[in-house]
Amino acid sequence: MATAYFTHPLFRHHEMGPHHPECPARLQAIERQLLASGLHRQLQHHVAPQASDEAILRVHEAAYLQQLKEAAPTEGYRQLDPDTSMNPYTLQAVYHGAGAAVAATDLVLGGVADNAFCAVRPPGHHAEPGRAMGFCLFNNIAVAAAHALEVHALQRVAIVDFDVHHGNGTEAMFAGDERILFCSSFQHPFYPGTRLNDAPANIRHAPLRAGDGGREFRAIYHEQLLPALEAFSPQLLLISAGFDGHSEDRMSGLELGDDDYRWLSERLVRLAARHAGGRIVSLLEGGYALNALGRCTSEHIGILLEAAA
C-alpha cells in the first residue's frame, strides 16, 4: 500500500519568537531532505484536518481547552510557560496537529495506508491533561492513542517515545491504563525532571546519562524496551519521534548518530510487522539541529516506506 504523510501550512506559521529552537525551519529542513532523497514523491500526501474537541477532550481537561481558546492572541505572543507561547496561528496549528494524529490513525487502522508519519509542530508529548509545557500544547500522540482505543476499540496500543526528553504528558494521561504500554528512553536527570520511582506496570522508563551514545541507547532497547513490547504484542504502534538526542543537537547531552535512529526504526518496523500487521503511526516531537533533524527524519520515513513497499 503506502506510507501516508500528514502536514499543514499552519504548522509553519506557528512560532514563538526570534531564536526559539522550536521554529518553522524544522519542517523546512525535513522537506528539503525528503525532496533531495527522492522520498517525497513516494509518499501519500495528506493535508492534516482539524481535530474535534471530542478527540482533544479524551486526554485533556475541558477547563484547559477553554483556557487555551481564551488565551489565543490576535497579535503578538501569549506566554503559557517559560518555554511555550502562542501567536495568532498557534491554536489553529495545534488543532491540525492533533487532527493529523487522528486522521493518520484512521487511515492506518482502516487499511488505506500501511503506516504514517505526521510532520507536525508544535510537538506534543510534554502537554499534560491540564497544562502546556516544553513547547507543547496538545498531546498529539495521546490523542491518537485514545482515538484508537475509543473509536477503533483496540485493546493493546504501544507508544514508543525516543525523544531525548521524557514524555511526561503522555505518561500522565495513561499511567495505570493496561490497554497502553508506554516505553520512553530519555536523558536523566534532565528536563522535565521525571521521577523514576514507582511507575505503574504499563510505564517503562529507560533513562540514559549525559554523554551516553549509540552503545548505551541500543542496549536499553535490546535488553529492556523491545522485550517489553514483544510481550505486550500491540495491535498498533505509535511513535513519538524526537531526534534531539543527536550528537549535533546541543539541546541535550546524548551522543546519538544517524545510524542509531535508523537501527531503532528498523527494529520498531519489524516488531510492528510481527504483532500489529505493520501498523505504525509516527509523529514528530523534538529535534533542533536542522541538518541532523532532516537526515534522521528522512531515514525514519524511508524505513516506513520500505515496510510499505
CA distance 143 to 108: 15
pLDDT value at position 127? 98
pLDDT value at position 198? 84
Per-residue DSSP letters for 275-294? HSTT-EEEEE----SHHHHH
pLDDT value at position 78? 98
Taking the CA atoms of residue 272, residue 95, residue 47 and residue 23 in that order, the dihedral angle to the nearest 10 degrees is -90
Residue 4, beta-bridge partner list: 44, 116
112-166 tens-digit pLDDT: 999 999 999 999 999 999 999 999 999 999 999 999 999 999 999 999 999 999 9
CA distance 191 to 136: 13
pLDDT value at position 197? 82
b/e sequence 148-177, b meaning 16+ C-beta within 10 Å? bbeeeebebbbbbbbbbbbbbbbbbbbeeb
The architecture of the domain spanning 3-308 is 3-Layer(aba) Sandwich (3.40)
The domain ranges of the chain are 3-308
CA distance 228 to 203: 10
216-227 tens-digit pLDDT: 999 999 999 999
Residue/partner pairs of 83-90 with CB below 8 Å, 24 or more apart: 83/133, 83/134, 83/135, 84/16, 84/122, 84/132, 84/133, 84/134, 84/135, 84/136, 84/137, 85/16, 85/17, 86/137, 87/13, 87/14, 87/15, 87/16, 89/10, 89/13, 89/14, 90/14, 90/122, 90/137
Instruction: Say yes or no to pLDDT of 196 above 90.
Output: no
Instruction: Say yes or no to pLDDT of 279 above 90.
Output: yes
Average pLDDT, rounded, for the chain: 98
Active-site amino acid positions: 126
pLDDT value at position 55? 98
Region 33-50: mean pLDDT is 98
Determine what percent of the chain is predicted with pLDDT higher than 90: 98
pLDDT value at position 1? 83
Residue 117, beta-bridge partner list: 5, 282
- pTM of the prediction? 0.98
> Is residue 207 reached through a cis peptide bond, with omega within 30 degrees of 0 on the bond before it?
no
Residue 5, beta-bridge partner list: 45, 117
pLDDT value at position 138? 99
Contact indicator for 256, 213 with CB cutoff of 8 Å:
yes
CA distance 133 to 128: 8
pLDDT value at position 195? 86
Instruction: Say yes or no to pLDDT of 202 above 90.
Output: yes
